[in-house]
Amino acid sequence: MAQVHTVSTWREAFGIYKKPQVVTMLFLGFSAGLPYLLVFSTLTAWLRDEGVSRTAIGFFGWVGITYSIKVLWAPVVDRIGLPWFTRTLGQRRSWMLIAQLGIMAGLLSLVLFQPDQALYPFALCAVLIAFSAATQDIAIDAFRIESAVDEYQGAMSACYIFGYRLALLVAGAGALYIADWANWESAYIAMAAFMLVGVVTVLCIREPKRIISDDTQELEQQLRRLTHSDRPGRWRRIEAWFIGAVVSPFVDFFKRNGRDALWILLFISLFRLSDITMGIMANPFYLDLGFTKSEIATVTKVFGFFMTIAGSFIGGLCVVRYGIYKPLIVGAVAVALANLPFAWLANTGPDMQWLAWVISGDNLSGGFSNAVFIAYLSSLTNRAYTATQYALFSSLMTLPGKFISGFSGVVVDGFGYHHFFLYAAGIGIPAIVLAIWFFYHFRQKESLAAVQKP
């Protein structure tokens, strides 16, 4: 794993947030964050408002699995160009733009169907949005990692989360306010217009330079020789592309990390399991408690937004100041514990003051843990395979949670919200154990490497 160098003073840590490549992530983060809630909790509020059953709403969580299997087409985004677009904009920018146009098309298509009358085509539109959003994420993640050195990744992830959360505020509170004042169709048309922020950003930024090390080139050549795909012929060229775009990123990851690779992948798959599992039922939970859509928007989206930004900013600073592993332990603990106040709120009722306290803790911990975790994933990536390797990591990060969240409505219907949130907290324990083990394990490996270094 690449080493993230720390700085000696807090002043140096704060200075990183002034870098242009760090500031750019604010706008790209907004573009990435906007479609997420529109196929997740905001969409579930629309479904619940139209009388769709909670069990059916739970299964809509599987729409988000699209984010979790994006590794399947990440090699295409990484290595294949788009006619005219790639020649004009570059590899990363062209894929970002096409994905943004797909998101806008999906959002506008949703308003053509009533969810209580045409649930199937409604779901297909949601899948289009999720697929396009996942493709955009692949390109943005690659752009972020290729645009700056590892030392900036903590600050870049914090700035990315700032923009991401700002978009969640718009797609969450903004959509709920518009739906309360007008209707859901107007809300989603407005959200499609907000995607122009991403379009304009892509047209203004520069394409990053890709650096492929000699070791990486040698690895690809060895794999081609082993598979005889270095010989002439059209089929051999296809094989050579497959080796370079699909096989090499995985071989490289396991070669660099050795026996630790499987433990790293397991940890990635478990870190956000608790958070994602509870998220699908958040808005239905607030509505069932008796809160209005405007109250939900005010407390969970507006107030919670500032707590998330504070958490992500602190997380980015801690990575720069202390490295990754100590903040990673804190983040894993926070993700699991944040569910317990929701279990208590389920027995309290619609109390706005207590809701504010519960949301404060949840969003503060969420912002912190996400900033730290994004920096951790970025440090694992070889810049020759940024799109494919990061897509693998981020897919594993969400896939188990997305799958389990599909049954969240069944758990709530069967056992109630109180037990559901206790269950969501409990499934976060394995990530805590692995984070602690990682801290001691990799610190020992670094110490041994330092002793053996001549």
Amino acid 224: pLDDT: 63
Amino acid 381: pLDDT: 85
Q: What is the CA radius of gyration of the chain?
A: 22
Average pLDDT over residues 241-246: 73
CA atoms within 13 A of residue 176's CA, in its CB half-sphere: 26
Measured over the CA atoms of residue 291, residue 169, residue 63 and residue 393, the dihedral's sign is negative
Amino acid 139: pLDDT: 94
CB atoms within 10 A of CB 112: 11
pTM value? 0.71
Q: What is the pLDDT of residues 131-172, one digit of tens each?
A: 999 999 999 999 988 886 556 666 777 788 889 878 988 998
Q: What is the pLDDT of residues 291-338, one digit of tens each?
A: 887 787 777 766 777 888 888 888 888 887 788 888 999 999 998 999
Amino acid 193: pLDDT: 96
Place of tokens 């599987």: 62
- Phi, psi torsion values for 13, nearest 5 degrees: -65, -45
Q: What is the pLDDT of residues 9-44, one digit of tens each?
A: 556 666 666 777 788 899 999 999 999 989 887 888
Amino acid 113: pLDDT: 85
Q: Which CATH superfamily is domain 12-452 in?
A: MFS general substrate transporter like domains (1.20.1250.20)
Amino acid 186: pLDDT: 93
Q: Please provide the average confidence, as pLDDT, over all residues in the chain.
A: 83
